[in-house]
Amino acid sequence: MAERDAKDMALITGASAGIGAELAREFARNGHSLVLVARRGDKLRALAAELTERHGILAEVVAADLLEPDAPAELVAEVERRGLPVAILVNNAGVLESGGFHQMEEGRVEGLIALNVRALTLLSHAFIRRFVAAGRGRVLNVASIGAFQPVPSLAVYAATKAYVLSFTEALSEELRGTGVSATALCPGMTDTGMMDHAMAGTGGKLNVPHAMMSDPADVARAGYRALMAGRAVEVPGVGNQLLTGLVQLQPRWLVRAVGGFAGRRLER
């Protein structure tokens, strides 16, 4: 099983930066060939060259904007046109938009749902159908610790991640006995461009030292291990595990009230 998986080709969305790029490095280190997907083709090509050189794996690049309505279907068609035997799907691409919901531009609200929910779901649908027909495959969907609770001032983002967690947990049970597994990776604050963007959005009110954030390479390693073990949910890092465990033990009204208090302080 391990030897077979070591050769499986993984398609990773959002591989041009952050956690996705580290996931690509982790898969390559473990001998997987790759299909790297994001908008910035130059970054993907540089990463593909690095990984091919260092690990001798095949790394294909598909530059795509997954916000575009037809992009998920076109990506699947491109994989088929190139005859790439993808057996692992990693839905990592995501965006974060913060601020009061009523103040957000409609396009930003739409973008959150189009990428974090729609593209992830359609890619899962297309690939899982193929994986089930083949009797094997693995899916890793990147959620967040924000999936475990409502997060005022990140209302839509956290709700998209709650969707990813719920969707993936449901699939992990539904797919039992098919040879296909589904895993939700739920990172806490991780040192990537997304956190810089999130902190900038609060005008300096949220200022977490980089040393207190998770290293994206550690998150990727935890995600890879959980995927290969077929685990349904992975929360990387002891602190994040304690936090999400505590949240799940509290009454919903208390979780909501604490989130509301923190959110109002950030918006003031």
Ligand X SMILES: NC(=O)c1ccc[n+]([C@@H]2O[C@H](COP(=O)([O-])OP(=O)(O)OC[C@H]3O[C@@H](n4cnc5c(N)ncnc54)[C@H](OP(=O)(O)O)[C@@H]3O)[C@@H](O)[C@H]2O)c1
Catalytic residues: 157
Among 10, 19, 35, 159, binds ligand X (CB under 6 A): 19
243 binds ligand X (CB under 6 A): no
CB of 193 to ligand X, least distance (A): 4
- Give the single-character DSSP code of 84: -
| Residues from 87 through 126 that contact ligand X (CB under 6 A) | 92-96, 115
83 binds ligand X (CB under 6 A): no
By beta-carbon proximity to ligand X, the closer residue of 132 and 233 is: 233
Asked whether 88 and 32 are in contact (CB, 8 A), the reply is yes
By beta-carbon proximity to ligand X, the closer residue of 43 and 231 is: 43
- Residues contacting 232, CB < 8 A, separation 6+: 168, 169, 172, 173, 182, 183, 184
By beta-carbon proximity to ligand X, the closer residue of 84 and 132 is: 84
Residue spans of alpha helices (H) in the chain: 2-6, 18-29, 41-55, 71-81, 106-113, 120-134, 155-174, 193-201, 216-229, 238-249, 252-267
By beta-carbon proximity to ligand X, the closer residue of 8 and 22 is: 22
Asked whether 146 and 97 are in contact (CB, 8 A), the reply is no
236 binds ligand X (CB under 6 A): no
CB of 160 to ligand X, least distance (A): 8
Length of the chain: 268
Contact residues toward ligand X (CB under 6 A) are 13-20, 38-40, 43, 64-67, 92-96, 115, 142, 144, 187, 189-190, 192-195
